[in-house]
Amino acid sequence: MNLETISTANNIDLIDVGTDLTKSEQIDRFLAHHLNDLSRSRIQTLIDEGYVTVNNLLCDNKKDLVKVGDRIQIITPAATPLDLVAQDIPLDVLYEDEHLIVINKPAGLVVHPAAGHSDGTLVNALLAHCTELSGINGTQQRGIVHRLDKDTSTRQRKYGYPSTMIKTVIPDSQV
């Protein structure tokens, strides 16, 4: 694809869509494919919040189609800090190194602070246990890879490593 990213300074990406675009594509899919550091969900949020323009016009629909000759500008605002407090909550740590922590999360422990659960969460426990957790989706939300609700028990990863990498670190019988 003849795609040119003109500028990435100050969290702004300016993209000129080249002539070898073979078919029209929804803008959220197009940007997710070409901007590897942003998820499609994050791009949809940026569109909804008015941070994406096409040909100097505000893009307000993630289903708008990208065409040859379009100039797309996407602004990624700086991450906003969250006020999270580290809490000394016991963790069942199965494995830990400088990049990865695998824990056995008990059922009933909420993962992220949210309405009704402002503290006493896995994030609060990890902040006390780990010196650094990565941010995600434009918020300095502590990066925990999971698909869990509070009543699910399972193991957690510190950073976004795939399970195949975990299996190389920890034998299958222990994962």
> What confidence tens digit (pLDDT) does each residue in 76-88 have?
887 666 677 889 9
Average pLDDT over the chain reads 75
pTM: 0.51
In a domain, 84, yes or no: no
Number of structural domains the chain divides into: 2
Q: What is the pLDDT of residues 6-53, one digit of tens each?
A: 444 458 888 999 887 888 899 999 999 888 888 898 899 999 999 999
Q: Are residues 108 and 42 part of one domain?
A: no
**Among the residues of 11-120, which ranges form H helices?**
27-34, 40-48
Residue 69 lies in a domain: yes
Backbone angles phi, psi at 28, to 5 degrees: -65, -40
104-122 per-position pLDDT tens digit:
888 888 887 777 788 898 8
**Residue 47 has which token pair?**
């569109």
Active site residue 64: no
- Looking at per-residue confidence, does 129 or 4 come out higher? 129
Q: Is 160 within the bounds of a domain?
A: yes
Per-residue tokens: 166: 């975990």
* Residue after which a domain boundary falls, among 43, 75, 107: 75
Distance CA 101, CA 141 (A): 17
How much is the pLDDT for 65? 95
Q: Do residues 69 and 24 touch, judged by C-beta distance below 8 A?
A: no
**Which domain-ending residue is among 25, 47, 75?**
75
Say if residues 127 and 142 touch (Cβ distance below 8 Å): yes
Catalytic residue among 97, 149, 151, 172: 149
Q: Which domain holds residue 162?
A: 93-174
